[in-house]
Homo-oligomer: A and B are copies of this chain.
């Protein structure tokens, strides 16, 4: 973690611990520089990072203010941290339904930019929140990039392993969303009835070098899932 990232996370913890509310003003730049014993350019980078993350907003000529939303239990659509961070205080578990190496579907191959002859790791799992079904997830990992996975990794955080175990840099992602109706199989895994509403999300994850490595399709139990996005201003 670089210095400015460390300071950013310290400021985030300070906001948390002091239970600061939306609109509360942070100390001025000079005070932050003195408190953390860093240069102006470092503190500026920390604050820019926090602004991107939706933790603060900066008003020119006026100061830096805390940004918080009031709703609990919403899943962030922009975090690649997995649910664990958003749903702190909730118990999240997984059950693996299928896990193997196989040839991708046409759809997965197209998204991953590979041929249908190449291998992928396929993972299908149901995730639970406080013992109730949260979602059914199917993921296709390009095996030429994600060279190794096993059941143990798949039952924990796959992304932690990709970053730390494989040393890969996870970059941008394309996320597609829509509402629909549960088919029979989805309904079965989620313990709901066929035809019930679903919140459906497809994500194509890329490395920082632009290579797509994971195409995932997630069907949420609409009764257990709410989502949020902290968007920055118009660009």
Contacts and interface: CB of A to CB of B under 8 A. Distances in A.
A106 to B, nearest CB: 14
Number of copies: 2
Interface residues of A, number: 54
A23 interface: yes
A234 to B, nearest CB: 4
Nearest to A203: B231
Contact of A176 (B57, B74, B208, B210): B74
Interface stretch (A96-104, A114-122, A147-155, A165-173): A165-173
Given A77-B229, A208-B233, A234-B81, A69 B170 contact: no
B176 A230 contact: no
Given A23-B210, A59-B209, A235 B52 contact: yes
A230 B174 contact: yes
A199 B234 CA distance: 23
Interface string A208-235: 1110000000001010011111111111
A234 B175 contact: no
A206 B71 CA distance: 17
Residue of A22, A57, A226, A233 with most partner-chain B CB within 10 A: A233
Contacts of A127: none
A20 B204 CA distance: 20
Given A173-B231, A179-B225, 20 more contacts: A52-B235, A54-B172, A57-B172, A57-B208, A59-B208, A62-B209, A71-B176, A78-B229, A79-B234, A80-B234, A169-B233, A171-B233, A172-B230, A172-B232, A174-B229, A175-B231, A177-B226, A177-B229, A178-B199, A197-B222
Interface of A: 22-23, 49, 52-54, 57, 59-60, 62, 65, 67, 69, 71, 74, 77-81, 169-181, 197-199, 204, 206, 208-210, 220, 222, 225-235
The 9 closest A-B pairs by CB, nearest first: A197-B197, A179-B199, A179-B222, A175-B229, A80-B234, A179-B179, A171-B233, A177-B227, A179-B197
